[in-house]
Structure 1
Amino acid sequence: VDGDGGPLGVVLAATNMNDQKLLRETIETIVIERPEPTPEEPQHLCLDAAYDNDTGREAAAEGKYTPHIVPLNKEKRSRKPSKGHKARRWVVERTLAWLCKCRGILVRYDKKDENFLGLIQLACALCWYRRLYRLGRCDAKQGREHSS
């Protein structure tokens, strides 16, 4: 997900698979074009402590991201509360909650991976449509993006 909670890529995997093993594949599924990172403007990737290992750091580096891995307890102690900086650890959980509002993916009834992946991708598209509509960048009657 991006910084505002927009879904960028989806990977299907078993529930007992460790997240760090899916990081590389998840980065590869991102369909949004992004600017090439530069030393002045690097691309940041916020990760939790589960990715604090060689596999997680290598996957982030291969995707040309600068990883930010800070355990939650250290983050709370090191950062003083400020009005200009909001913690973003809840963004992924909120996006998953939005996706779970679609009952077809809350409980997996489909036996075929392709069907379930299609439902998840449709739910992600609906999330993006709602965001664009709320921001006034999409015409509700025609479903087209406004050029701004």
Structure 2
Amino acid sequence: MAPASSRGTGRTGWLRVDRLVPRHRRCGRRAGEKGGSLTGPSPVDRGKPGSKIHVLSEGAGLPLVVGVSAANTNDAYALKPLVKAIPAIRSRRGPCRRKPGKLHADKAYDHADLRAWVHRRGIQVRIARKGIDTSEKLGRHRWVIERTISWLTGYRRLTIRYERNANHFLAFLTLAATLTCFKKLRKTTT
């Protein structure tokens, strides 16, 4: 934080009136000049800072694995770590099941090497293909993961990222996934 000015009260604070300057003046552009925006950078800018939540859920929407990545990275990089992190599911008889039967994903995960990698693990691939499949076909399955993400972002701590450390944010995300599973499974058993 900048040192206090001689005009102020002599202490540093959050609101410094002498430091408040309109955005277009700070950027060296006048309001309305081409290239200058009074609302800030574009929200769809691919170079934006921030984080992205990745969730792998089962068919009913219970989160099995969660992850956090930078907002400006491709979603496809998160698929392998999420699939590898699927916990073993205890069955009534036989060995523990470590892989799902099918994997549904949207067009962001449409890469030939990812399809081959998932297929080699013995999982049926249901990834929408860019330019071929429509969103209507995948929409029957996509709403499940969208609902799961809305359950997780229902916790105030995850709506806006307050933590600087990604490990802390991931810990809160994991806690939210655990609480979500507990609440949903408690409803089904009672």
Deviates more, 1:56-65 or 1:12-21: 56-65
Quote the RMSD (CA, aligned, Å).
2.3
> Please, which runs of 5 or more residues in structure 2 have no aligned partner?
1-56, 90-95
Distance 1:136 1:119, change over 3 A: same
> Please, which runs of 5 or more residues in structure 1 have no aligned partner?
77-85, 138-148
Deviations 1:91-121 (A, max 9, x none): 1111110001100111111111221111001
Aligned to 1:58: 116
Aligned to 2:174: 121
Q: CA deviation at 1:22?
A: 1.1
Q: How high is the TM-score relative to the length of structure 2?
A: 0.58
Aligned to 2:83: 27
More strand by share: 2
- What letter corresponds to residue 106 of structure 2 in structure 1? D
Q: CA deviation at 1:3?
A: 0.8
Matched, 1:45 2:103: yes
Q: CA deviation at 1:73?
A: 4.5
Larger Rg: 2
Matched, 1:69 2:127: yes
- What letter corresponds to residue 64 of structure 1 in structure 2? G
Secondary structure of the corresponding residue to residue 124 of structure 1: helix
Query: How many equivalent pairs are there?
Result: 124
